[in-house]
Amino acid sequence: MDSDERLLHFKGFNFERSTVDIDILENLEDFDIRDDDVFIITYPKSGTIWTQQILSLIYFETHRKQTENVETADLVPSLEYNIRKVDFTKRPSPRVFCSHLPYYLVPNGLKNKKAKIVYIYRNPKDVITSYFHFSNFVAVLEGCENMDMFIHKFLDGKVAGSLWFDHVKGWYEHRHKFNILFVSYEEMKKDLKSAVQKLCNFLGKELSDDDVDAVVRQATFKNMKSDSRANLSNILKKEVGTKSDGHFMRKGTIGDWKNHFTVAQSERFDMIFQRKMKDIPLKFIWDINEE
């Protein structure tokens, strides 16, 4: 099957066809936003399930204290990849969603600036590396023979999520229209506790020190990898399907791109990055040892 069949091109943006909820897409603009809704927005492979886990631990005491056995993805569902066909209008507040939507497709109600958006971004060489492996792991995506082919595909925007540059730049350049906080994957990785506190401040959630520690503990890579509620293993196995051995929680680090990019690929990418991102002052961290 070629990539065009697996991708649904809708209003200028590529979705993964088999898991996206068409009814939601067609009514996105009017999707009713509540003032206390929270959205995690990401380009794919930038730390979505990690942030779903962090926010569900912040918001839902039963999750934090492990007194109920509910999947993180059910507590913080995807708006457009609503694979369980949940009726979101019946969900109690506060509702926490995740989404890969570009700024111009999100529900209009988010522009009331009351509902909050946490935008997570990651250095794009690690996004590419993660996405390359993910494409060869999940059944619903087109696999790719080698990194070079995948880099081309990514730079052409021929993947679910379309062009990374458009996503990040679009959200950054239109940030004034929304109540939005930008957080990088790398700052979460380097100092998870500070990132959790920053998120709590933005979300207006006052957690005790013990509760912050409980959030951090349950959101580390190691603990999420062994927690089937948090690591998507059930959903991947039963609902999405996989085509090779692997794990959604693959490496969870900064700079794995160095093990996969050639020097020439890296230099070419840097040139494009510098040209396209020159007006965007977001800080990108490419190496685990970088400050």
Beta carbon nearer to ligand A3P, 49 or 105: 49
130 binds ligand A3P (CB under 6 A): yes
Binding marks (x or -) toward ligand A3P, 100..129, rule CB under 6 A?
--------------------------x---
State the residue for tokens 């609503």: 82
Interaction between residue 252 and ligand A3P (CB under 6 A): yes
Calculated CA dihedral for residues 61, 64, 65, 70, nearest 10 degrees:
90
Interaction residues for ligand A3P, span 141-170 (CB under 6 A): none
Instruction: Examine residue 251 and tell whether it contacts ligand A3P (CB under 6 A).
Output: yes
Catalytic residue ranges: 100
Of 221, 227, 246, 277, the one binding ligand A3P by CB under 6 A: 221
Residue sitting closest to ligand A3P (CB): 252
Residue number, 10 or 221, with CB nearest to ligand A3P: 221
Judged by CB under 6 A, does residue 44 bind ligand A3P?
A: yes
Q: Which is nearer to ligand A3P, 89 or 146 (CB)?
A: 146
Q: What are the residues binding ligand A3P (CB under 6 A)?
A: 42, 44-50, 126, 130, 133, 189, 219-221, 224, 249-252, 256
